[in-house]
Copies of this chain bind each other. A is one copy, B any other.
Amino acid sequence: MKKDKVTIYDISKKLNISAATVSRALNNNPKISEKTRALVAKTATEMNYKQNRLAQALKNGRTNNVGVIVPYINRSFFSSVIRGIEEELTPQGYHIIICQSHEEAENEIEQLNALLNTQIDGIFMSVSKTTQNTDHIKKAMEEQTPVVFFDRKIDVEGVSSVVLDDFKAGFMATEHLIDQGCKKIAHLSGDINLEIYKNRYEGYKADLQKYDIEYKDELVINTSSKIESGMQAIDELWKLKDKPDAIFSAGDYAALGAIQELKQRGIKIPEEVCVVGFSNEPFTKYMELPITSVDQTPLMMGKIAAQVFLEQVKGDQALSIEKKVVLSPELFIRDSSSRKILNLSDGV
């Protein structure tokens, strides 16, 4: 077994004085005589005792560490939000500790408890797809650890959040496709139990209504954020008698799968079918056929989330401030949906 670390309890045993005295001596508490202080210091050195800032933190409740919990670190969106949080908090002396939930509520709870046990000063999180219960978040609040949600939130009183206007994003994406002349727009929706996907879907529906285009349930396919899922969606949609002339995907990976499957079938993009994705993953612009996508301004989202946290820890009323920030999406129009630009350059 690994040898246990030397603790103040070991020193107190060796010197036959109380652990509290050892602790005070190590922290240069004036109540302790110089003689005792010197003896404790000497013994601590001999025993290879490493004083721990954490023990200090246990006393004053601060570690300057903050935790971030995301579903996955390998999605450009999440790593960019983390970057934004780091850019704001690192100059303030904070260290950023990252954990992944892998979209499992159980992992999220475990990770949150592990973070609480390391005495962090705050938690930023984007909840997992499977999170329903909010007890773990309430527990953090009870322990006076501020929580800030970003992108994906769940209703907990007193928790601030920084999210995207996903309804507007869905609306914009659909409007762009209508503007390209598309009339039968399919939607690859993601899990609409999650607020973000529900809002994108609602934006899509609202925009169809605005242009008097009939909403058809058969054109909405529930997909996961995987390439294969986008391929399967096309498979399903192309079984319909009346095939779509556009795809608005709530995720870039499903959009990529859709494009691959459409090409496989010899369908021309954007001439026959326009495609729009969501998240502005870097690969969308590297493609030979760059993919139009909604940018969620993740760097900004991280920075604002960090600012909300700083306000809370510096403010007088700590956790009583509940802030809800909603950011505006940006649509990056690229070749996968640019009939007009394409025609223009064709004409030149």
Interface residues of A (CB under 8 A from B): 1-5, 7, 9, 12, 18-20, 23, 48, 50, 52-55, 57-61, 63-65, 72-74, 76, 79-80, 82, 86, 90, 95-100, 102, 107, 110-111, 114-115, 117-119, 121, 142-144, 227, 256, 260, 282-283, 286-289, 312-314, 316, 318
CB distance B79 to A5 under 8 Å?
no
For residue A52, which residue of chain B has the nearest CB?
B117
Assembly CA distance A143 to B20 (angstroms)? 22
CB distance A289 to B288 under 8 Å?
yes
Q: How far is the CB of A298 from chain B (nearest CB, A)?
A: 11
For residue A122, which residue of chain B has the nearest CB?
B2
Residues of B within 8 A of A121 (CB): 2
Assembly CA distance A144 to B59 (angstroms)? 24
Q: How far is the CB of A213 from chain B (nearest CB, A)?
A: 31
Residues of B within 8 A of A111 (CB): 95
Residues of B within 8 A of A64 (CB): 114
Residues of B within 8 A of A100 (CB): 82, 86, 96, 98
Option from B1, B107, B227 in Cβ contact (under 8 Å) with A316: B1
For residue A257, which residue of chain B has the nearest CB?
B286
CB distance B287 to A286 under 8 Å?
yes
Assembly CA distance A28 to B60 (angstroms)? 24
CB distance A118 to B58 under 8 Å?
no
For residue A56, which residue of chain B has the nearest CB?
B117
Q: How far is the CB of A273 from chain B (nearest CB, A)?
A: 17
CB distance A50 to B7 under 8 Å?
no
- Not counting A9-B59, A97-B115, A288-B289, a sample of 9 additional A-B residue pairs whose C-beta atoms are within 8 angstroms of each other reads A2-B121, A50-B142, A73-B98, A74-B74, A74-B79, A97-B99, A118-B119, A227-B286, A288-B288
